[in-house]
Structure 1
Amino acid sequence: MSVLYPRLLPGEADRLFEELHEHSPGSHTHMVSNHSPRSVFAATGGRRVTREELDDLRRTIVSAAEEQGFPEPPTPAQRNAFDQRTARILHEQSLMVPGEAAQRPVWAFLALVLLPDICVWRWPLKSGRGYSADRFKGLDLTRHSLGRLWTRAHVLYDPRSPEPYELVDTLGEEAADQIMTRRRSVAATPALVRAVVRGHRDERALNEVGMSERDVLRQSLMRLLRLLAFVGVDSIPENELDHLVRRVRAETRNALRGR
């Protein structure tokens, strides 16, 4: 049975987001709770998550943050390691189905009620600009501090692999963002996303002087986008998608050599 999560009402999400700015860095633990009187559940579709389960989820994610130095400011490598570990935790432990995970108020609750201190640590204040609403209120789930991680794990999860979450650990934040934000094209087909990530992983050893992984990934994605205008990939077997991605990456490398 799927699990339903509290959905924070929009006005309360706005209020709590403003409250983030009233606390100094490191003091947001005072905002933590496992419930909110200004949240609701979906009427049907599964059973409601218990407060004990929310506490367990929080403990596991806090532990992942502590492994990366929380509450001290994280390095880029620590942020990346936290994201990879937390993506797996959210996907494995939350027991959400895609329909529930697509609800922005669910992620607003998790970021602003259950885990505000962790999300502030991961996405700290920007000088002169405050906290980013996208990271906390769920305005865009491809940018939400936690929602984007569940989506990443769900798309990259491969039950055929001995380690089903292996592909989650392949991508750094920049590479994952390059792929997952193209949600209406490349990211719309999970099998294609997995093929792209496998190609990125398997060809790292081929990197040449003057040719960065970032350039190969970015340029190959642009080529795939043009190809997707003419080719429907939803019905293509995954092994053939692997061949397609490798061919596009080879063409990209040849083009970059000739620049």
Structure 2
Amino acid sequence: MRVPLLPRLKAHGVATILERLKSEAPSPKDNIDRLTEYSAWKTSAPSGGTRADSAAVNIAAELRKIAQKAGFPNSKTQAARAKFDQDAAIYLAQLKDLQTGEALRDDVWAFMTTVLAPDIVVWRFTDKNRERTARFSGGVRNSFQRLWVRGTFLDRGEGHAQRWELLTQLTEDAMVQIFERASIGGNPPLAIAIAEGWLSTVAKVGRGPMEGVMRSAIKILRVKNQIIDLGYLTPGELENVILNTFETATRAFVKTVKSEHET
């Protein structure tokens, strides 16, 4: 089986196209037209598979359908955007065309967002300047790449009765705390263990205090991870470390809140 080589877009191409988008809003043009319009900036691996521009076009088309079901382009509520994130992450995680090394390349995702679906990106995010650029450039903040990573890491497995529960239950802040920390987001066993720890903790204390608890827990875990690579612990050992850390963070958060109310 030959690997489908998806189209890529380098940093210069991203910058050039985004400069153009400053003066004209991205429109839902036919993706074939977009491939032609930006062909001068499109690259792909020179060997090792078969060029698969059509696969990228199909992925973008399906993402647009998912966005439309969530409310794109008219509904700009947080709920609509969260719905898109969840459904798109599940779709991308199961896609065979992305179960190769191609999905690990930032420039593949840069092409997807900047050339094939910039209108979805602008709908999903209202970031300006540097933050907006990050949503198009490849990396942990890329609009679609971040969802593929979440879906891939937080998949409990095809036979699990609650396969996608972590994706649907974790808040955006919790996702950011896990996946925008290189030492954590780049370590699948650690990432999913923290997500499971978050879910267990929210069942005990509710969602109200979880943003503060999660941030405190992540700080503690990052320090521990510098002392010992938590990803190399056995599943049982890692679960105990995570749950103990969340308990410590919860107690610290409650103590802080109580102290603030007393002053």
TM-score range, shorter chain: 0.7 to 0.9
Could you report, residue by residue, the CA deviation over 1:124-168 in whole angstroms, capped at 9, with x for unpaired residues? Answer: 364xx5971111122xx1111111111112222232633443322
Contact 2:7 2:53 in 1 (8 A): no
What is the deviation of 1:253? 1.6
Q: Does 1:117 align with 2:116?
A: no
Equivalent position of 1:22 in the other structure: 23
Equivalent position of 1:61 in the other structure: 63
Distance 1:86 1:208, change over 3 A: closer
Secondary structure (helix, strand or coil) at the match of 2:94 reads helix
Q: Percent identity?
A: 28
Contact 1:3 1:97 in 2 (8 A): no
Q: Distance in 2 between matches of 1:98 and 1:197?
A: 25
Equivalent position of 1:101 in the other structure: 103
Contact 1:57 1:94 in 2 (8 A): no
Which letter maps to 2:12? G
Equivalent position of 2:133 in the other structure: 133
Which letter maps to 1:116? P
Q: Distance in 1 between matches of 2:200 and 2:174?
A: 14
What is the deviation of 1:88? 1.7
Equivalent position of 1:247 in the other structure: 244
Equivalent position of 2:84 in the other structure: 82
Q: Distance in 1 between matches of 2:127 and 2:224?
A: 40
Q: Distance in 2 between matches of 1:117 and 1:69?
A: 13
Equivalent position of 2:205 in the other structure: 207
Q: Does 1:182 align with 2:181?
A: yes
Equivalent position of 2:260 in the other structure: none
Contact 1:178 1:218 in 2 (8 A): yes
Secondary structure (helix, strand or coil) at the match of 1:179 reads helix
Contact 1:68 1:74 in 2 (8 A): no
Which letter maps to 2:177? Q
Secondary structure (helix, strand or coil) at the match of 1:3 reads strand
Give the unaligned 5+ runs of structure 2: 257-263
Could you report, residue by residue, the CA deviation over 1:8-35 in whole angstroms, capped at 9, with x for unpaired residues? Answer: 24433222111222224xx522484462
Using the size of structure 1 for normalisation, the TM-score is 0.86
Q: Distance in 2 between matches of 1:174 and 1:130?
A: 20
Could you report, residue by residue, the CA deviation over 1:183-240 in whole angstroms, capped at 9, with x for unpaired residues? Answer: 1x2223211111111111122122269x611011111111111111212223212232
Distance 1:95 1:217, change over 3 A: same
What is the deviation of 1:179? 1.1
Using the size of structure 2 for normalisation, the TM-score is 0.85
Q: Distance in 2 between matches of 1:161 and 1:238?
A: 17
Give the unaligned 5+ runs of structure 1: none
Q: Distance in 2 between matches of 1:104 and 1:146?
A: 11
Q: Does 1:167 align with 2:170?
A: no
Q: Distance in 1 between matches of 2:52 and 2:145?
A: 17
Contact 2:5 2:102 in 1 (8 A): yes
Q: Distance in 2 between matches of 1:32 and 1:163?
A: 35
Equivalent position of 2:8 in the other structure: 7
Secondary structure (helix, strand or coil) at the match of 2:98 reads coil
Contact 1:4 1:96 in 2 (8 A): no
Q: Distance in 2 between matches of 1:201 and 1:208?
A: 10
